[in-house]
Amino acid sequence: MTREEAKKRIAKLRELIDRYRYEYHVLDTSEISDAAHDSLKHELYQLEQQFPDLITSDSPTQRVGGEALPGFKKVSHESPMLSMEDVFTPDELGEWYARIVKLLGTPGLPAGRRFDCYCMVKIDGLAMSIVYRDGVLFSAATRGDGRVGEDVTSNVRTIEAVPLRLRQPSEAELGAFLKAHPGTDAKKLRAFRDDRIGRFELRGEVYMTKKDFEALNARARKEGSEPFANPRNVSAGSVRQLDPRITASRKLSFFGWDIVSDVGCATHAAELDLLRLLGVPVNPEGGPAHDIAGIQAVYERVRKKRAKLGYWLDGIVVRVNDNAAFRELGVIGKTPRGLVAYKFPPEQATTVVRDVRWQVGRTGAITPIAVMDPVFVAGTTVRHATLHNADEIERLGLKIGDTVILEKAGDIIPKIVQVLPKLRTGGEKPVKIARTCPACGEPLERRSGEVAIRCVNPKCPGKKTERLIHFVGGFEIDGLGPKILEQLQQEGLVSEAGDLFTLTKDELVGLERFAEKSAENLVAAIAAAKRIPLPRFIGSLGIPHVGEETAEDLARRFRSLAAVRSASLEELGAVPNIGEVVAASIHGWFAEKHNQAMVDRLLDVGVVIEEPKRAAGQPLAGKSFVFTGEMDGMSREEAKEKVRYLGGDASESVTKKTSYVVAGAKPGSKFEKGKKLGVPVIDEQRFRKLIGG
């Protein structure tokens, strides 16, 4: 076969193989058998080996790379990957729906009028951002903390359901699409279809089917390995394998559920249909809902089918269908207002409590943990459940030896919800409430007004370990888990956070779990983690009541660690979303000398805190902006970041203290509220002048 003949045959094989991939993963049909499909891929592989200059990155043979990676690079998301609010009952769903109706009032939507939503199944997997450039898969990244994830492109390429090249819809398909979705910007969509030039980002869920999970565990048992606990952990672990060949062997699947790029779709339903046309599989179990009764109907339909579906899911996701309305609703904290997860009732099972052990947390709170007979519930084997505090033990009337009902709240956290006293034999024993700390043996205290009992020993090794675990989680140090941290403490190598950054390879080599290479990798991972954004640094300190969102609020307001450390109680209390209790907790934490010493040590050993970027002179200092409507030359998120960069504040709600309401095309209720409160309302052109361009 000549090179020219091979080139033509390769092109035909690639087209045919990709068509079969589309039919199998998107249309759920198949013209040929798996064996025939494999035979075509084998022929393509042989031809490419014979003519290696004809190999391209989007060829079906190039899904699996040949070498393991040294580690994963950090990737900043251009548009944050946000979390969702959870609701568990029809009443909670009704409260969310009522808020949306109220927020989408005049001129966007008259209060009380119904609005359309789109419902999708909530699959138990791993959220993924996938970017295409000029129609070819360019990168894939995990959610991470929502703003920064990990580059897992090599591994996502191995997932057959993810197209290496986006499909190009025919004119007939595009015509039918535009007829089905009349609000679509046809000119913009056709330009994207015809040229496919530039960046296109979609998001979806990497998951493992029940069938593939069972096959993987059968293989593990056959090889004498420990079976995997649940499919979500397998999905997350497989995507983060340094060797793509291991990922490929796990047979992961993928469903797309969102388009980030603006390609002219007016509704979320249109985005999902477009994903299908582009060759991206979309879950078929969702559907539109015209009112709250419609949402409940989809919920019940999916719930009844749940056990028969080939994958695990824990609810449905409800989204305002109209994209302009969705953008208008905006974000509160890290949660879009127009999106909610409507969770299924938690699964339950019965088991027997054999013991209650007490453990100390990073704040000194002592928590009782029930040790139970293993029981399979909601996809995992559960042996332990938190009992929260001594009052909860008393409320349940729990005794050692009791049969209990266990549930996984939100299908995540194991919880004992009921004791079955009628099954008692008479041999049950009372639970002994801890009087001394299980880690250091010091007497415990119960502060006035608190439910928890606490260890107040500042040198308690248990508290130190938990604080270190929390700290490492904030710094995202790969390969440094709880067991290794405990080992390093026991060996006298680490007693506080700053000690981690002075560890050397020579100190680690020879310890259990550490050979030359593993010691080298851990030291490198710690060194790579030295540079950290200010919000994550604040969150890693373990200040009581300070989570991710509060850390973000502090960083946005004070913009430097020095400013946070020196802030007065009044200044802290003036930060949006921070009340008196949280302000007092932050102020008190930084006032303690051993906390000051810990932070100073971290800076001394080379931790570099990345402060939010800001312009010299801070021209918008003291100004607050609220955005409404569609911006022309930039997204609303980009506009907000520009305001913050220039020293201003971008808020989601209009108050008398708002400096400007910036109104784009089709402004919503914030426009009217701004005028009613006498807040200056400016257009995008005036806003651009304020920001200097």
pLDDT digits (tens, 9 = 90+) for 170-188: 999 999 999 999 999 999 9
Residue 672 has pLDDT above 90, yes or no: no
Query: What is the predicted pLDDT for the residue at 196?
Result: 65
Q: Is the pLDDT of residue 362 over 90?
A: no
CATH of domain 85-343: 3.30.470.30
Q: What is the mean pLDDT of residues 358-375?
A: 93
Q: What is the mean pLDDT of residues 398-419?
A: 84
Question: CA-CA distance, 491 to 480, in Å (whole number)?
Answer: 15
Three-class HEC string of 361-406: CCCCEEEEEEEEEEEEECCEEEEEEECCCHHHHHHHCCEECCEEEE
Is the pLDDT score of 289 beyond 70? yes
Which of the four pLDDT bands, split at 50, 70 and 90, describes residue 332?
confident
Q: Where are the alpha helices (DSSP H) in 104-209?
A: 153-156, 171-180, 186-195
Is the pTM of the predicted complex or chain greater than 0.75?
no
Establish whether the linkage from the previous residue to 107 is cis, with ω within 30° of 0: yes
Q: Coil, helix or strand for 657?
A: coil
Where is pLDDT greater, at 352 or 652?
Answer: 352
DSSP 8-state symbol, 53: G
Q: How far apart are CA 124 and CA 206, in angstroms?
A: 9
For the cut 50, the answer to whether the pLDDT of residue 268 exceeds it is: yes
Residue 16 pLDDT: 86
Half-sphere exposure of 68 (CA within 13 A, CB side): 7
Angstrom distance (rounded) from CA 569 to CA 551:
16
Tell me, what's the pLDDT at 22? 78
Strand-pair category, 380-386 with 399-400: unpaired
Higher pLDDT, 121 or 648: 121
CATH code of the domain made up of 348-455: 2.40.50.140
Question: Quick one: pLDDT band at residue 379, thresholds 50, 70, 90?
Answer: low
CA distance 450 to 434: 16
Domains 461-529 and 532-610 share a fold: yes
What residues contact 65, with CB distance under 8 A and at least 6 apart? 154, 157, 244, 245
Alpha-carbon distance of 639 to 629, in angstroms, equals 12
User: DSSP alpha helices (H): ranges in 397-533?
Assistant: 461-475, 482-490, 505-508, 516-528
Q: How far apart are CA 115 and CA 424, in angstroms?
A: 53
Q: State yes or no: pLDDT of 241 exceeds 50.
A: yes
| DSSP 8-state class, residue 456 | -
End-to-end CA gap in the chain: 60
pLDDT of residue 617: 65
- Cα(446)–Cα(693) distance, integer angstroms: 58
Cβ atoms < 10 Å from Cβ of 655: 12
Per-residue pLDDT at 691 exceeds 90: no
Identity of the amino acid at 120: M
- What's the mean pLDDT in 342-370? 91
DSSP codes, 259-314 = E-S-SS--BHHHHHHHHHHTT----TT-EEESSHHHHHHHHHHHHHHGGGSSS-EE
Least confident of 109-118, 154-163, 490-499: 109-118
Greater confidence, 396 or 145?
Answer: 396
Comparing CA positions, the residue from 315, 316, 311 lying closest to residue 254 is: 311
Pick the CATH number of 624-690 from 3.20.20.70, 1.10.640.10, 3.40.50.10190, 3.30.70.1430: 3.40.50.10190
Residue 429 and residue 411: Cα distance in Å, rounded?
30
Integer Cα distance of 247 and 371 in angstroms: 34
The predicted model gives 538-549 an average pLDDT of 89
**pLDDT at residue 549 above 90?**
no
Tens digits of per-residue pLDDT, 79-129?
A: 889 888 889 889 999 999 988 988 886 444 444 445 799 999 999 899 999
122 classed as catalytic: yes
Q: Which of 251, 376, 268, 223 is nearest to 311 (CA)?
A: 251
Q: What is the 3-state secondary structure (H, E, C) of 391-451?
A: HHHHHHCCEECCEEEEEEECCCEEEEEEECHHHCCCCCEECCCCCECCCCCCEEECCCCCC
Distance CA 239, CA 128 (A): 10
Which is the CATH superfamily of the domain at 3-62?
Helix hairpin bin (1.10.287.610)
- Lowest-pLDDT range of 32-36, 132-136, 352-356: 32-36
Q: Specify the pLDDT at position 407.
A: 85
Structure tokens at 363: 């704040």
Least confident of 109-118, 267-276, 399-408: 109-118
Number of H helices, E strands in the chain: 26, 28
Mean pLDDT of the chain: 87
The predicted-structure confidence for 439-468, as pLDDT tens digits, reads as follows 999 999 988 778 889 999 988 988 888 999
Confidence of residue 237 (pLDDT cuts 50, 70, 90): confident
Q: Kindly report the CA angle at 196 between 10 and 240, in degrees rounded to 5?
A: 75
Q: Does residue 37 or residue 342 have the better pLDDT?
A: 342
Tokens at 114, concatenated: 């119904």
Q: What is the pLDDT of residue 28?
A: 65
Phi and psi at 640, nearest 5°, equal -65, -45
Q: Which residue would you say has higher pLDDT here, 226 or 389?
A: 389
Pairing status of strand 339-343 against strand 85-87: parallel
pLDDT in tens, 606-622: 999 998 776 566 788 88
DSSP class of residue 344 equals P
Q: How confident is the model at residue 409 (pLDDT cuts 50, 70, 90)?
A: low
User: How many other β-carbons are positioned within 10 Å of the β-carbon of residue 513?
Assistant: 12
pLDDT surpasses 60 at 223? yes
User: Region 32-61: what's the mean pLDDT?
Assistant: 81
pLDDT for the residue 70: 64
Answer yes or no: is pLDDT of 599 > 90: yes
Strand partners, 258: 203
Identify the CATH homologous superfamily for domain 532-610.
Answer: 5' to 3' exonuclease, C-terminal subdomain (1.10.150.20)
**pLDDT above 90 for 318:** yes
Residue 618 falls in which region: left (phi positive, over 0), alpha (psi -120 to 50) or beta: left
Q: Which residue has the tokens 């119960």?
A: 446
List, in order, residues 6 or more apart from 137 with CB less than 8 Å away. Answer: 57, 58, 130, 131, 153, 156, 157, 162, 163, 164, 165
pLDDT at 142: 93
Task: State residue 112's pLDDT score.
Answer: 40
With tokens 């019940």, the residue in question is 300
> Are 619 and 646 spatial neighbours (Cβ–Cβ below 8 Å)?
yes
Mean pLDDT, range 244-253, rounded to an integer: 91
Q: What is the pLDDT of residue 423?
A: 93
Instruction: Kindly tell me the sign of the dihedral angle through the C-alpha atoms of 446, 447, 451, 455.
Output: negative
Where are the domains positioned within the chain? 3-62, 85-343, 348-455, 461-529, 532-610, 624-690
409 vs 416: CA distance, rounded Å: 10
Least confident range from 48-62, 204-218, 308-322: namely: 48-62
Percent of the chain with pLDDT over 90: 47
Which position among 7, 122, 593, 670 bears the catalytic label? 122
CATH label, 461-529, candidates 1.20.1300.10, 3.30.470.30, 1.20.1440.120, 1.10.150.20: 1.10.150.20
For strands 331-332 and 365-377, give the pairing: unpaired
> Bridge-partner residues for 610, per DSSP?
533
Averaged pLDDT, 64-80? 76
What is the 3 state secondary structure string of 564-617? HHHCCHHHHHCCCCCCHHHHHHHHHHHHCHHHHHHHHHHHHCCCEEECCCCCCC
pLDDT (0 to 100) of residue 314: 87
State the Cα–Cα distance between residues 172 and 48, nearest whole angstrom: 34
- Using an 8 Å Cβ cutoff, are 22 and 279 in contact? yes
- Of the two residues 369 and 412, the one the predictor is more confident about is 369
Helix (H/G/I), strand (E/B), else coil: 127: strand
> For residues 216-231, b (16+ Cβ closer than 10 Å) or e, as one string?
bbeeeeeeeeeebebb
Q: Is 615 exposed, middle or buried (0-12, 13-18, 19+ CB in 10 A)?
A: middle
